[in-house]
A and B are shown apart, each in its own frame.
Chain A
Amino acid sequence: MKTDTLTRPVTHRGTTAAHRQPPKVAITLRLDADRARRLQAIAEAENRSLTNYVETALLRELALREEAERVITMYVAPGTSPSIRPEDVIRADGETDEDYAARQALAVELWSIPDNA
């Protein structure tokens, strides 16, 4: 087991309030020794600290999660239904059976997306 302090409080001497970053919070990460060595080796190969490497990896993970959530931005007005039945979808004029079925499926899919705006 290996313990590594990822982040430490940062001071901002000489900076104005407008340029200050939000304060960082120190956390402690426990890793298997082998994994820690591997990560350390990768970080050194990329000429960065282990802390910076792990932080970057975590930020990348957060960005991917955000992308997954934001592929579609959904605004949900108060009082709308949490789900929809396919038969509630109004059919468009001239819509084929196939197109209508596809749009019913789309409606069910879209209604399942939470408010993420």
Chain B
Amino acid sequence: MVPGAFVRVLFPTREKPRQPGLLHIGYMLVVTATEAMVAYTTSQPWPAAVPLPAGARVFSLDEALQLNQSRAFLLRLDVLAMLPLTLTWFPDLNRGANGVIAVAPAPLQAELAKFATNLARRRRELVAMRGP
């Protein structure tokens, strides 16, 4: 499994946060030999009246097509899951492509890492100001 991959993952849900959830495409932000930090994606349209979350990155249909996805989608760098690299969470792990839909090109990976870094910095500042 490689960093920067968009991969099929049973992303946990708010209702059952410690269990494999619904099948989604996740973005592999950080990968180790045994674990991954995965960001949530959804192709559900965001409600027009609701401001986008600070950690949301919109991928247009054109961008989605370049990443082997057929619909525009939202990548949520503010919704992350720390998951072991096992079949429990990644059901296609033992198949040919390991469930990888596409791998983001290096510039996009760098952009997303920078985005996540800024988000983490904002969180740290708020925690420092308000307490954990």
Give the size range of B's interface with the partner: 35 or more
Shortest beta-carbon distance from A113 to chain B in Å: 7
Give the size range of A's interface with the partner: 35 or more
A84 CA / B36 CA spacing, docked (Å): 11
Shortest beta-carbon distance from A68 to chain B in Å: 4
Chain B interface mostly helix, strand, loop or mixed? mixed
Name which residue of chain A comes closest to B54, CB basis. Answer: A71
Interchain CB contact (< 8 A) of B18 among A69, A77, A91: A77
Residues of chain A touching chain B, judged by Cβ–Cβ distance below 8 Å, are: 61, 64-65, 67-69, 71-81, 84, 88-96, 99, 102-103, 105-107, 109-111, 113, 115, 117
28 example contacts (A-B, Cβ-Cβ < 8 A) are as follows A61-B130, A64-B126, A64-B130, A67-B130, A68-B132, A69-B132, A71-B54, A71-B55, A71-B126, A72-B78, A73-B80, A75-B12, A76-B82, A78-B18, A89-B3, A89-B30, A90-B2, A91-B3, A92-B2, A93-B106, A99-B109, A106-B29, A106-B117, A107-B37, A110-B29, A110-B120, A117-B12, A117-B14
